[in-house]
Amino acid sequence: MAQREREQREMETRERVAGETLSAAWPGLTDPAHDSQRLFRQILGAMSEPGTLETLAVPAPPQTPPSDALGAALWGVVLTLCDLETRVWIAADLDSSALRQALTFHTGARITDDPASADFALLTHESFDPQMPFALGSDTYPDRGTTLLVVVEQLANVGPSMLSGPGIETTRALDIGDSPGCRALMDRLAANRASFPQGLDMIFGCGARLAAVPRSTRVTRADAKEVN
């Protein structure tokens, strides 16, 4: 009996130490109720005014290990929106046991290998594949689609990609980078209109900055034929 108690205590200590190490590299939100509220309002602002750039503005912004590609903004989005009711899919180039542990530890979200069952997908512009079968929702329940959280090369309100539609008074330029992956992402967003109300909503992250483009946005490229 005494031995069992000792083992139990040792296990608890091990778990706590593991949790503390994890929290040091991938800390959660300092003030969960208020920080997540502030972050959510930024995400809501980004989603309701597509293409506007938001920079993390909480007293203690979320941190990620400097070596990790995910970036503080998208980690903040994960901490704000994910919990044990959500499934998260992680692309191979972002996948690490540290991220998986941190995600499970801080949010309790379930990690899935099936993109079609994911509520949120974490990926980079390099790992984006237009053929990836993310959930688009159905015509009767278009809300049941995957939200893509994508690390992009850059975020700036310039460039050939023009956004218009709900949330945009006239038009807004958005440049996420010129890599093949970034171009594929914008092409995928442009294709959303054809399947509306089904479609993919994306939140882009670049360091501590984020922007969002929902499926309601019309995306056109000045240097290409109109894709609408």
Partner 1 sequence: MNGYNFAYLDEQTKRMIRRALLKAVAIPGYQVPFGGREMPMPYGWGTGGVQLTASILGADDILKVIDQGADDTTNAVSIRHFFQRVAGVETTTATTAADVIQTRHRIPETPLRAGQILVFQVPIPEPLRFIEPSEQETRLMHALEEYGVMHVKLYEDIARYGHIATTYAYPVKVDGRYVMDPSPIPKFDNPKLDGNPALMLFGAGREKRLYAIPPYTRVESLDFEDHPFEIQRWEHACALCGSDHSYLDEVITDDQGGRMFVCSDTDYCQSRRGEVA
Residue numbers of the site for partner 1 (CB under 8 A)? 32-34, 36-38, 40-41, 43-45, 47-49, 80-83, 85-86, 119, 138-143, 145, 147, 165-169, 196-197, 199, 201, 214-216
* Nearer to partner 1 among residue 24 and residue 44 (C-beta): 44
CA 196 to mean position of chain CA atoms:
21
Distance in angstroms (rounded) separating the CA atoms of residues 200 and 185: 10
* Nearer to partner 1 among residue 28 and residue 65 (C-beta): 28
* Nearer to partner 1 among residue 137 and residue 177 (C-beta): 137
**What residues have CB less than 8 Å from 92, skipping those under 6 apart?**
127
Instruction: Report whether 159 contacts 174 (CB < 8 A).
Output: yes
Least distance in angstroms from the C-beta of 141 to partner 1: 8
Instruction: Report whether 181 contacts 128 (CB < 8 A).
Output: yes
Least distance in angstroms from the C-beta of 190 to partner 1: 16
The two structure tokens encoding residue 75: 């980690």
* Nearer to partner 1 among residue 12 and residue 83 (C-beta): 83
Instruction: Report whether 209 contacts 73 (CB < 8 A).
Output: yes
Least distance in angstroms from the C-beta of 9 to partner 1: 30
